[in-house]
Copies of this chain bind each other. A is one copy, B any other.
Amino acid sequence: MDRQLEEAGFAASEAGQNGFSEALRNALGADLVLTGDETARYCSDWHGDVQCRAEAVLRPRTTEEVSACVRAAATLGLGIVPQGGNTGLVLGGVPDTPVAVVVLSLERMTRIRQIDPDDFSAVVEAGVMLETFKDEVSKAGLFFPLALGAQGSCQIGGNVSTNAGGVNVLRYGMTRELVLGLEVVLPDGSVFSGLSQLRKDNRGIDLKQLFIGAEGTLGIITAVSVKLLPRPEQVATALLALESLDDAIRLYRRARHQCCDLMSAFEFMPPLALRLAQEGIPDLQLPMDADHSAYVLMEISGSGLVDIDDLMARFLEQVMEDGLVIDGVLAQSQAQAQNIWLIREGMNEGQAKRGKHLRTDVSVPLSKLAEFVAEAEAAVASEMPDAICVSYGHVGDGNVHLNVLPDFEAGSAAIDAQILKAKKIVNSVLDRYKGSISAEHGIGRLKKPDFDTRLPDTHRQLLTAIKRAVDPHWTMNPGCQIDRT
């Protein structure tokens, strides 16, 4: 039994699985507790890369039941891994830890408590699926702007807990900027009742900020109050061809000024992305040949009296006249717009089909992005001539997914080694640019080693002090973000 386990008073190996599950069922009732084979789907990650185990899976239906679960687990000396839709990409909700833990799934907390169009706000429980919530909000004539590839599976609680990003961040910000208030079950089982529909509330230190992005290491978010916005009734979507990433960034700056910050998406893709999209979705019709050097998916949106189509048309006229944009397709229908977005989604599927590869989620200052990508791709090419880089993403935020496809013929162990090597190469260039190893995905367990080695002492001391202050027994999501010290 290692030192960490001993210090926490954890006694997994002594009690054995049956002891815990029986004790949990006695404390909480059988309906809240899954054990044995039923836990399997909560113990694997989104990509199926990791298989692990939990003593049990707890499935509370109310905030009070979450409290009871937290208290029961604490009494037994078990760690608690909160889990939403389990779509995270950094193993933040997967119980891959030497400490004996339960998974606490929020999937049964699915009530939309209220939608208030007159207040431009809503209160929603953690387990509500993002897409379900967006649809309900839309029926009320409003808009919740968070938009992710995983929105048909991910849950609001997880979105807030991981401070999710997505394709609309450049206009609406990360999830943090959409949150008005939180309800959180704390490590001692008490409830932080911070739901609020006030848009402006400046009563000192803003405690809710601590839990946003904490990935469940400080408590379990059970409900959220959020901002809603006017529903954009007009959307203009274009796929544009350019000379280079550098030109794409020039276009982005130009668009911000010219389009009044009404731009809601700006996604960069290399030509390989279009080919990958076709591999991912074989019957996809590309609206443009894949023989240009660079592509941008651009979206402008708005409601009411601004003519969005006209704005896009006049902007494109300007930038094509100047030669910044070489070619472009402006969607003439919602179906055409969806088809353009399919390229963006299909390229992820295409990468997955090719096989296991390096996925990164890095950011650098916008002015350095093109230089960084060129340098990192050159470094990979020079040291790994058989690997292929595909760099794409939300470049308006300085965020790029610089992925590396290894030599897929090399065999499983060699592929893993190549992925590790490629990551080291990319991160070493990134460090010179003072970039972030996680622009939007978070830290979880997957990025913890890379996070940890880059953490300045003062940050580490503060983080540890806060973790200890809020979760003195290190019960919450052990092994995620920071190691116990």
Contacts and interface: CB of A to CB of B under 8 A. Distances in A.
A296 to B, nearest CB: 18
A8 to B, nearest CB: 19
Contacts of A192: 458-459, 462
Given A116-B365, A197-B365, A462 B458 contact: no
Nearest to A464: B469
Contacts of A306: 259-260, 262, 306, 311
A210 B467 CA distance: 13
Contact of A174 (B169, B200, B305, B365): B200
Interface in A195-240: 196-207, 209-210, 212-215, 217-218, 229-230
Nearest to A199: B397
A468 B424 CA distance: 39
Interface stretch (A329-337, A381-389, A411-419, A440-448): A440-448
Nearest to A260: B302
A328 interface: no
A434 B397 CA distance: 37
Given A119-B367, A230-B256, A200 B466 contact: no
A83 interface: no
B165 A203 contact: no
Contacts of A314: 305
Looking at chain A's contact residues, is the secondary structure mostly helix, strand, loop, or mixed? loop
A398 B200 contact: yes
A439 interface: yes
B193 A458 contact: yes
Nearest to A368: B119
A218 B205 contact: yes
Contact of A191 (B199, B366, B458): B458
A289 interface: no
B257 A304 contact: yes
A176 interface: yes
A80 interface: no
Given A203-B443, A260-B304, 20 more contacts: A116-B365, A116-B367, A176-B206, A190-B458, A196-B434, A197-B365, A199-B399, A202-B438, A203-B451, A204-B215, A205-B217, A205-B218, A205-B463, A207-B462, A229-B256, A257-B304, A262-B306, A306-B306, A306-B311, A466-B469
